Structure 1
Amino acid sequence: MLKLILFLFTPFFSNAQGYTSYFTGNTTNITTNPEFGVCLMGGASENDEAMKWLLQKANGGDVVVLRSSGSNGYNNYLYSELGISVNSVETLVITSVAGAINPYVLDKVANAEMIWFAGGDQWNYVSFFKDNALEDLLNQHINVKNAPIGGTSAGMAILGGKYFNAQNGSVTSAQAMNNPYHPNVTLGYDDFLIVPFLEDVITDTHYDNPDRRGRQSTFIARLKNDFNFDVKGVAANEYVAICIDVNGKARVFGDFPAYQEFAFFVQVNCSNPNPIENIQIGQPLTWNFNGQALKVYKVPGTMNGNNFFDLSNWENGLNSGGTWEHWSVNNGVFASVPGTPIDCSLTANNFEISNFQVVPNPFLTNFSVNGITSAQISLFDMQGRLVFQKQITNQEIIETNLLQSGIYTIQIQEENKIQTKKIIKN
C-alpha cells in the first residue's frame, strides 16, 4: 500500500542538538541537475520574480532554508505559492555550532539543490557556520555542485568574500564615517563563503532604510587602508533583488518607476593612485579625491529585471540601464553627485596589485597567482594537510592534475608577509 509522502509544515524539534526542522513536500530525496545562480535581496519582503528565477535553477530538486531564528515562513512560499515545482522545502533553524554540524543538518545541506539564507543576525551565521563541516558543504554546493544560493538581509551580508560580520552589533553610517575604527565596524575577509563574482566584494542591504551608503564606503576604505585590498561593493535597497548568472550578469529586480528601488555597484576610482586622505582611530573619515573617491553604477530594479551590471568586467564599466555617480566622504560627511563612467584600461596603477589573486578561482587543472614577485606557495586540504608546495613567480602556471576536486587553502609567503585564501578545484 502506498504511503502518503506529502507533509505540510511537519516540524522536527532537536533543540538539545541546536536545530529545529520544518519540512514541506516529498520526503524521498531526489537528485537533479541544478544550475549556478546567486540571488541577493535587500531585506524587506522577497521579490517574487527574482525568487522564481532562483527556484528554477534548482531544476525541481530540494530546497533548504538556513536561519538562526524564526520558523517556517518560507516553506509554503517556496513550495507552492510561486508556481515553480520543487521536490521539497526544508527550513533548518540552527541555534548553535552543534546544530550546524549535526549529521542530519549536514546531510540535508549536502543533498540540497538550492540553499537560501534568511534574514536575522549575520554574526550568528558566521559564528555557527564558519570553520566547520557546514561551511565546507556550503562552498561545495556553490563551487563543486554549481548549485543556486541566495539570501536576504543578513543572508545577503555573508555572501561576499569580504563581509561586515556584526560581531558587536550593527553600525550606522554616521558612526562609521565619524570613526572608521568604531568598535562596531567589524569586518571579515577571505575566510568564509567563496561565491564566484563576489570574492572581492562586500555587500550591504536595507540601503535606503536607513541610508547605508556612508557605512559601506567606510567598510571599503578600511579594507583598502588596512590590507590594501581592491574591494568593491554590491548593495540593494530594501525591496530590490540582484540575480547573478553564470556569466556574471547581475540583473536587478524591483518595482521602479513606481518606487525608487535601486541596486548599487561601488568601486574605488581607479584614476586615484593616492591614499585615503584621513582614516584614523577616533577621527572623521575623509576620502574625497575631488568628490570622486568612489565610482558607483546605480541600477533601477524593474519587474522583468532587464537592467543589469556586468560583474565580470568592472574595470571597463560595461553596464545597461543605470546611471553613474561619484561618492565621497569629507570630514565624516557623505556626498553623492552625478558621475561619469569608469575606464581603468589605461590606468597604470590598476596593475599594481599588492594582495595576491588566484586566477581562475574555481579552477579545473591549473591556475596562476597574480600580485606577487617571487613567493612560496603552499596548498592545504580541508584537513589541514600540506598537499603542494613550490617557489613561484608572478603569473606562473601551477599544474594541479594530481589534486582531487574540492576546497583548499592557499598560503602565499613573500618575504615576511603571509597571506591565505580559500580556492576551489572543480
Structure 2
Amino acid sequence: MKKITFLFALITQILLAQDYTEYATGSSTDINTNHEFGVCMMGGASENDDAMIWFLNKANGGDVVVLRASGSDGYNDYFYTDLGVSINSVTTFVIANEAGATDPYVLEKVANAEAIWFAGGDQFDYVSYFKDNEMEDALNSFVNTKQGVIGGTSAGMAILGGAYFSAENGTVTNAQALSNPYHNRMTLGYNDFLNIPFLDHVITDTHYDDPDRRARHATFLARYATDNNTRAFGIACNEYTAVCIDHLGRAYVYGEYPDYPEFAYFLQANCVGDSMPETCIDGQPLTWNQGGEAIKVAKIAGLYSAENYIDLTDWSNEQGAIWEDWSVTNGSFSTSSTINPQCDLLSVIENQLAVISVSPNPFHDVITITSELIEFDVKLYDSLGKQIAQYTNESQIETSNFASGLYFLSVTSEGLRETFKLVKD
C-alpha cells in the first residue's frame, strides 16, 4: 500500500512538472516595494541593457517574474546580477499549457511580483495559455490595480497591445497580407486580452529590420480600422531597440543609434479627413491610400540616453522623429517623407469657431466645460491613460470623489477632438 501511495505522489509531481517548470534566483521571501508603473517593449534579438535597467528600476528592488512557453532560465542571472540593479528575486516560469498558467502557485507569484516580463517565442502559446482565464485576470490586475511594470520582447511584445496578431495559423508574410487582408493567417484579436494603459487601439510588431514587416503591420491597422470602424494605431521596433512608456504616457526609445540603425515606429491612421481604408475586404488586395497619406508614421531613433520620445496621450508631441506617409494601392506598399500631422493641434484649430475651455485647473470638486458645441462627448482618463468616466453634453462634472493627481479630459464632437491635462489638488 505504501508503494502505491508513493507511486501516486510521484506521478502527481511529474504531471505538475509537465504543466510548468520553475527557475528561481534570489530570495524566496516575498517583499513589497514602492514600485512604479511602466511598459517596456523590445523588438527582438538580444535585449537593450539600458532599457532593461529602466524596467528593473521600476520594480524598486522587488520581485521579477518571467513568463515564457519555451527555453529555460536565461533571464535569471541577467536580471538578478548582470545589470547591476538590486532586486529581491527573479522567478522564471516556462509554461507548458493552460493548466500551468492557471496553477495557483504561478498565479500567486504573478500577483506578488513588482515586474513581469514576457520572453520571445510563439505568441499563440501566450494567447492559448493566458487568455480568458485566471492568468489573464491576474495580468490585468497587476497592470491596472497594482500598477506594476510589464514588458516583453518579440512574441512577448506582440501580445501587449489592445489589439494583437495572434499567429494562430503561423506567421503572415508581407505578400499574403497585402494580397488579402483577410488571409487565413491574418488572425487578429481585438480588445479581449491584455488591457494595458496607453495601448488601446494599438497593434504592435517586432523584428522591423525586415522591411516586409512594415507592409503587413500596415495591413494589421487596416483590418483593425475596418473591423472596428475607428482609427488604428501601431508601435513597432527594430531588433535591439526598445520602447519604454512611463506613467505619463511618454514613450522613450532606447537603442545604439547612430552606431547602429535602431529605430522605433509609431503608426497612426491619418487624423485629417477620411481615415478608413478604401478597399479592405476578403479576397481582394488592400487599398488604403487616402491621397498617399493613409498612415502617418513617426520613425524615432533609439539613443543610448533615450532622449527621443513620442507622447502617447496625443501621438503628436515628440522629439527626434522623422515623419513618413505610408499607403497601399491595390496591394502595393509605398512610403514617402512628410511632416508631423499635429493631430491634437489640428483638432484645436478646427474647433476655434466653437471654442472649448475647461476650468479650473487645478480643480477640486467640479470641472466646468465651456463651449459653443451643442453635441459633444467627454471622456476622463487617469494618469495611466485608463478611462474612468464618460459623459454626454455635460458641462459640469462632479469630481469630489476623485483622488488627487493628474487627469486627461478629452472633448470630442463630429470627429473633432481636444484633450486637456488637468490636476486635482
Please classify the TM superposition score into its range, dividing by the shorter chain length.
Answer: 0.7 to 0.9
Task: Verify the 8 A CA contact 2:231 2:275 in the aligned structure 1.
Answer: no
State whether structure 2 residue 226 is matched by structure 1 residue 225: yes
Render the CA deviation track for 1:215-269: whole Å, top value 9, x for unaligned.
1110111111122132211110111000110111111011111111100010011
Task: Out of 328-337 and 41-50, give the one that drifted further.
Answer: 328-337
- Of residues 389, 409, 422, the one that matches 1:368 is 389
Task: Verify the 8 A CA contact 1:365 1:399 in the aligned structure 2.
Answer: no
SS at 2:74 equivalent:
coil
Matched with 2:121 is 120
Matched with 1:342 is 341
Bigger fraction of residues in helix: 2
CA distance in 2, matches of 1:394, 1:100: 44
CA distance in 1, matches of 2:42, 2:14: 29
| Distance of aligned partners of 1:138 and 1:329 in 2 relative to their CA distance in 1, 3 Å threshold | same
Q: AA paired with 2:24? A: F
CA distance in 1, matches of 2:166, 2:73: 25
TM-fit CA distance, 1:358: 6.1
Task: Verify the 8 A CA contact 1:13 1:19 in the aligned structure 2.
Answer: no
Q: How does 1:251-400 map to 2 (within 5 A)?
A: 251-273=252-274, 275-314=276-315, 317-344=316-343, 345-346=345-346, 359-360=380-381, 367-369=388-390
Task: Verify the 8 A CA contact 1:179 1:282 in the aligned structure 2.
Answer: yes
Unaligned stretches of 5+ residues in structure 1: 1-11, 374-392, 402-426
TM-score, structure 1 as length reference: 0.80
Q: AA paired with 1:49? A: D
Task: Verify the 8 A CA contact 1:241 1:253 in the aligned structure 2.
Answer: yes
| Distance of aligned partners of 1:181 and 1:16 in 2 relative to their CA distance in 1, 3 Å threshold | same
Larger Rg: 2
Matched with 1:377 is none
Matched with 2:193 is 192
Matched with 2:420 is none
| Distance of aligned partners of 1:126 and 1:397 in 2 relative to their CA distance in 1, 3 Å threshold | farther
SS at 1:265 equivalent:
strand
Matched with 2:4 is none
| Distance of aligned partners of 1:164 and 1:361 in 2 relative to their CA distance in 1, 3 Å threshold | farther
CA distance in 1, matches of 2:220, 2:150: 24
What root-mean-square deviation, in Å, do the aligned CA atoms of Structure 1 and Structure 2 show? 2.7
| Distance of aligned partners of 1:244 and 1:275 in 2 relative to their CA distance in 1, 3 Å threshold | closer
Matched with 1:33 is 34
Q: AA paired with 2:329? A: N
TM-score, structure 2 as length reference: 0.80
CA distance in 1, matches of 2:396, 2:137: 28
Task: Verify the 8 A CA contact 2:249 2:384 in the aligned structure 1.
Answer: no
Task: Verify the 8 A CA contact 1:368 1:398 in the aligned structure 2.
Answer: no
Render the CA deviation track for 1:125-156: whole Å, top value 9, x for unaligned.
11111111111111111111111110001110
| Distance of aligned partners of 1:29 and 1:221 in 2 relative to their CA distance in 1, 3 Å threshold | same
| Distance of aligned partners of 1:84 and 1:341 in 2 relative to their CA distance in 1, 3 Å threshold | same
Matched with 2:80 is 79
TM-fit CA distance, 1:31: 1.4
TM-fit CA distance, 1:359: 3.6
CA distance in 1, matches of 2:15, 2:246: 36
Render the CA deviation track for 1:193-212: whole Å, top value 9, x for unaligned.
11111112111100112531
Task: Verify the 8 A CA contact 1:17 1:102 in the aligned structure 2.
Answer: no
SS at 1:212 equivalent:
helix
CA distance in 2, matches of 1:284, 1:226: 16
Task: Verify the 8 A CA contact 1:367 1:399 in the aligned structure 2.
Answer: no
Dislocated runs of 4+, deviation >4 Å: 12-17, 361-366, 393-401
CA distance in 2, matches of 1:77, 1:254: 18
CA distance in 2, matches of 1:60, 1:307: 27
Q: AA paired with 2:297? A: V
SS at 1:74 equivalent:
helix
Q: AA paired with 2:140? A: N
Task: Verify the 8 A CA contact 1:368 1:397 in the aligned structure 2.
Answer: no
Task: Verify the 8 A CA contact 1:369 1:396 in the aligned structure 2.
Answer: no
| Distance of aligned partners of 1:366 and 1:41 in 2 relative to their CA distance in 1, 3 Å threshold | closer
Q: AA paired with 2:317? A: L
TM-fit CA distance, 1:333: 1.3
| Distance of aligned partners of 1:234 and 1:395 in 2 relative to their CA distance in 1, 3 Å threshold | farther
TM-fit CA distance, 1:275: 3.8
TM-fit CA distance, 1:113: 0.8
SS at 1:151 equivalent:
strand
| Distance of aligned partners of 1:183 and 1:80 in 2 relative to their CA distance in 1, 3 Å threshold | same
CA distance in 1, matches of 2:61, 2:25: 14
SS at 1:234 equivalent:
strand
Task: Verify the 8 A CA contact 1:208 1:237 in the aligned structure 2.
Answer: yes
Aligned residues, how many?
Answer: 364
CA distance in 2, matches of 1:363, 1:260: 31
TM-fit CA distance, 1:47: 0.3
| Distance of aligned partners of 1:363 and 1:286 in 2 relative to their CA distance in 1, 3 Å threshold | closer
Task: Verify the 8 A CA contact 1:36 1:147 in the aligned structure 2.
Answer: yes
SS at 2:59 equivalent:
coil
